[in-house]
RNA sequence: GAGCCCGUAGCUCAGUCGGCUAGAGCACUUGACUUUUAAUCAAGGGGUCCUGGGUUCGAGCCCCAGCGGGCUCACCA
């Protein structure tokens, strides 16, 4: 491998450290007693003895300003950055000035991990700073980091911004771009807040199979794989709905799972082949109850993640405090198109689509036509959290028939900023009805619908044993994370979004494999 | 899948109409400097111009093909 000049120098510095008897990768632990942020927030010169008189902290060296026998540098730990002051005669009190003159000034590079011990003070310029008395090399960095600089006004220079490099080398992105770190901290808080909310109500977090012999519970193309010992095909799950309902059959009152789903479909700003979903099922409830639960949950989560229920997204303020507006599918279409389609048959719907300039094709049935009108004319208007309820039965094979409205099911979707983020039903628990719905799907599959749902005989058997009335909900965690962090691409809320391998990298890996064989 | 745009030093970017040895800032190297903060000052080194063809006396620039990325649209929950 061809090393750049800077990489060569760092490897030479590594060897020189070893020649001086300094281990660049020491094994022993380093005791940390303080973090950059707490020092900056809590340091006080009040009283006789200021606090933080003896601190020990560790992190990456991110910049140095050497002025002869004294230097300032910045240390970045897990909480942020703090300035350190390194004076020659402080870290080298004796005759031997090598630790400062050679190790600190020459052999340390930006990106190296070091540990420092000393006391906190405030410089003439007013900067809270750690005055270093002891300095330890903790780990040498062999590649130059992109250096991002900020001036007094907060202007950023030479930011590491190329999306391709940021996603392929997320570790670098995280080191040099603090706002990226914040997004992922918020994502983590989102998931833990949601978990806390459910756990607080006594519902059980569970895990169900990711490798499934039948990919059920949603309409999507799956990833296919093969188990060698069983010599059988397996699919990566596109949903976990049917397994969670089996657990309701088994007697749990509330179960939820937060985990990855896999769909072998297109990728864009809002789709990654693997994504995180939260699904929850609660017995003896219906979709009306679920709408109230979602309002409470999202209000709580928004507060925990952002500190407010009014969260800015793309210049708009989205208010997650409930209750949310509720419109039936038919009401929503009437409101935004002026056309009442509630009594229409397929031919009349087709006519309505023509008048509304909604493109359709002959294979579309009644449910699909309604969905097209909705997608074209309504969705974009649903900025504030809005429930759309009562969907046509044709498109929803796992939801219970509406208690009073013919041809509809008890389903809602929650829209925020024109995008669906949650989907819920009063779950279908009539095993005979469920079998018929699966059979309808089979007929769609025979007509060439690649995404029609497969019939799951074991799931039907479980329903035949009896499932209590149950309401179920799915939330797209990545899309919710985008909304709560004001990000416009799913790649910005995934640590490692899927990327096409670079040819050069791929070849290099093949080379390595050949070498190791 | 279609259209548009992009790919030059470790990072961010210039590069004119195709014309000298491909530039800048930061980073790096050497030297000066004991409270600096985008530290400063002086000197210096660093390039597979994404890859492969082609046109041309001459290509970072023009043409063709490919690879990778971004945006928009389509498809898809």
pLDDT tens digits, A304-348:
999 999 999 988 999 999 899 999 999 999 999 888 988 888 888
Distances (CA, A) of A464 to A203, A215, A427, A441: 24, 20, 14, 20
Q: What is the pLDDT of residue A457?
A: 94
Q: Among all strands, which nt has the closest C1' to A85 (CA)?
A: B35
Say whether A378 sits in a helix, a strand or coil. Answer: coil
Q: Convert the pLDDT of each residue in A360-409 to its tens digit.
A: 777 777 888 888 889 888 998 999 999 999 998 887 899 999 999 998 99
The total of other beta-carbon atoms located within 10 Å of residue A61's CB is: 21
Q: What is the pLDDT of residue A511?
A: 40
Q: What angle do CA A425, A323, A305 make, to 5 degrees?
A: 90
**Cα separation of A203 and A281, whole Å?**
9
For residues A340-360, give the mean pLDDT.
85
Structure tokens, A301: 């989560």
What proportion of chain A, given as a percentage, has pLDDT over 70? 95
**Cα separation of A500 and A450, whole Å?**
25
More reliable by pLDDT, A370 or A189: A189
**Cα separation of A110 and A215, whole Å?**
50
| A67 CA – B37 C1', rounded, Å | 12
Say whether A352 sits in a helix, a strand or coil. Answer: helix
More reliable by pLDDT, A337 or A249: A249
**Cα separation of A129 and A55, whole Å?**
11
| A423 CA – B36 C1', rounded, Å | 57
| A311 CA – B74 C1', rounded, Å | 31
| A370 CA – B76 C1', rounded, Å | 17
Res. A127: pLDDT tops 50: yes
Q: What is the pLDDT of residue A48?
A: 63
Res. A514: pLDDT tops 70: no
Query: Strand B: which nucleotides have any atom within 7 A of a protein Cβ?
Result: 1, 9-13, 25-30, 32-40, 45-46, 48, 67-77
Q: What is the pLDDT of residue A437?
A: 92
**Cα separation of A141 and A11, whole Å?**
9
The total of other beta-carbon atoms located within 10 Å of residue A281's CB is: 29
Res. A16: pLDDT tops 90: yes
Q: What is the pLDDT of residue A255?
A: 98
Q: Among all strands, which nt has the closest C1' to A143 (CA)?
A: B10
B39 C1' closest Cα residue: A65
**Cα separation of A448 and A450, whole Å?**
6
State the alpha helices, DSSP H only, in A169-286.
170-176, 178-200, 241-249
Do residues A483 and A314 lie in contact, with contact meaning Cβ atoms separated by under 8 Å? no
Q: What is the pLDDT of residue A505?
A: 41
B28 C1' closest Cα residue: A6
More reliable by pLDDT, A517 or A25: A25
For residues A177-196, give the mean pLDDT.
96
Q: Among all strands, which nt has the closest C1' to A83 (CA)?
A: B37
Structure tokens, A308: 């407010």
| A205 CA – B70 C1', rounded, Å | 39
What is the β-pairing status of strands A254-262 and A419-426? Answer: unpaired
B34 C1' closest Cα residue: A70
| A18 CA – B20 C1', rounded, Å | 47
Q: What is the pLDDT of residue A513?
A: 39
Please, which residues have CB within 8 angstroms of residue A369's CB and are 6 or more apart in sequence?
Answer: A346, A349, A350, A353, A360
**Global model pTM greater than 0.95:** no
| A88 CA – B34 C1', rounded, Å | 8
Q: What is the pLDDT of residue A517?
A: 27
Do residues A449 and A440 lie in contact, with contact meaning Cβ atoms separated by under 8 Å? no
Q: What is the mean pLDDT of chain A?
A: 91
Q: What is the pLDDT of residue A516?
A: 30
| A7 CA – B29 C1', rounded, Å | 13
Annotate A185-202 with b (16+ C-beta within 10 A) or e (fewer). Answer: ebbebbbebbeebbeeee
Structure tokens, A373: 């009108």
Q: Among all strands, which nt has the closest C1' to A375 (CA)?
A: B77
Residue A307 preceded by cis peptide, ω within 30: no
**Nearest C-alpha neighbor of A110 from the set A151, A62, A182:** A62
Element (H, E) at A280: strand A274-283
Q: What is the pLDDT of residue A1?
A: 61
Q: What is the pLDDT of residue A289?
A: 97
**Nearest C-alpha neighbor of A391 from the set A368, A371, A409:** A409
Do residues A441 and A503 lie in contact, with contact meaning Cβ atoms separated by under 8 Å? no
Say whether A26 sits in a helix, a strand or coil. Answer: coil
B10 C1' closest Cα residue: A144
The total of other beta-carbon atoms located within 10 Å of residue A86's CB is: 26
Q: Among all strands, which nt has the closest C1' to A423 (CA)?
A: B77
For residues A76-85, give the mean pLDDT.
96
Structure tokens, A407: 């041809």
Q: What is the pLDDT of residue A343?
A: 83
Q: Convert the pLDDT of each residue in A426-483 to its tens digit.
A: 999 999 999 999 998 888 777 766 677 888 999 999 999 999 999 999 999 999 999 9
Q: Among all strands, which nt has the closest C1' to A275 (CA)?
A: B77
- The per-residue DSSP string of A47-60 comes to SSS-S-SSEEEEEE
């Amino acid at each position: 491998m061809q090393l750049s000049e800077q990489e060569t120098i760092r490897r030479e510095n590594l060897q020189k450290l070893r020649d001086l008897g300094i281990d660049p990768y020491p094994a022993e632990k380093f005791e940390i007693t303080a973090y950059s942020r707490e020092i900056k927030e809590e340091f006080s010169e009040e009283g006789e003895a200021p606090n933080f008189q003896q601190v020990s902290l560790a992190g990456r060296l991110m910049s140095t300003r050497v002025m002869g026998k004294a230097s300032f540098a910045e240390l970045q730990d897990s909480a942020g950055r703090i300035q350190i002051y390194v004076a020659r005669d402080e870290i080298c009190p004796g005759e031997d000035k090598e630790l400062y003159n050679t190790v600190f000034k020459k052999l340390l590079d930006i990106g190296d991990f070091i540990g420092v011990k000393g006391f906190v003070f405030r410089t003439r310029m007013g900067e809270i700073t750690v005055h270093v008395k002891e300095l330890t090399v903790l780990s040498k960095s062999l590649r130059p980091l992109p250096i991002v600089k900020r001036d007094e006004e907060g202007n950023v220079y030479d930011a590491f911004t190329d999306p391709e490099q940021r996603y392929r080398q997320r570790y670098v992105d995280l080191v040099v771009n603090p706002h990226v770190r914040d997004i992922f901290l918020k994502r983590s808080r989102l998931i833990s807040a949601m978990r806390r909310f459910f756990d607080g109500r006594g519902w059980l977090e569970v895990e169900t199979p990711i490798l499934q012999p039948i990919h059920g519970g949603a309409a999507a193309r799956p990833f296919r794989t093969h188990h060698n010992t069983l010599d059988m095909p397996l699919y990566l799950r596109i949903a976990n709905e049917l397994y969670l309902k089996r657990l309701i059959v088994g007697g749990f009152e509330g179960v939820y799972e937060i985990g990855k789903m896999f769909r072998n479909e297109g990728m864009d700003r809002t789709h990654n082949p693997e994504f995180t979903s939260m699904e929850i099922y609660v017995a003896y409830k219906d979709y009306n109850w679920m709408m109230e639960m979602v309002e409470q949950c999202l209000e709580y989560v928004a507060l925990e993640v952002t500190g407010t229920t009014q969260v800015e997204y793309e210049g708009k303020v989205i208010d997650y405090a409930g209750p949310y507006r509720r419109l039936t599918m038919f009401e929503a279409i009437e409101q935004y198109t002026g056309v009442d389609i509630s009594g229409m048959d397929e031919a009349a719907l087709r006519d309505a689509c023509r008048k509304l300039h909604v493109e359709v094709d002959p294979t579309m049935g009644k449910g699909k036509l309604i969905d097209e009108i909705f997608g074209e004319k309504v969705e974009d208007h649903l900025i504030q959290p809005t429930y759309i309820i009562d969907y046509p039965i044709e498109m929803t094979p796992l939801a219970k028939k509406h208690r009073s409205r013919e041809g509809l099911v008890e389903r809602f979707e929650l829209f925020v900023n024109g995008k669906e983020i949650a989907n819920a039903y009063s779950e279908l628990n009539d095993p005979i009805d469920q079998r018929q719905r699966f059979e309808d799907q089979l007929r769609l599959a025979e007509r060439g619908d690649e995404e029609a749902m497969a019939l799951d005989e074991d799931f039907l058997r479980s329903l035949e044993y009896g499932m209590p009335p149950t309401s179920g909900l799915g939330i797209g965690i990545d899309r919710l994370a985008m909304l709560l962090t004001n990000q416009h691409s799913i790649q910005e809320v995934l640590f490692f979004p899927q990327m096409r391998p670079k040819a050069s990298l791929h070849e290099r890996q093949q080379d390595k494999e050949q070498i190791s064989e």
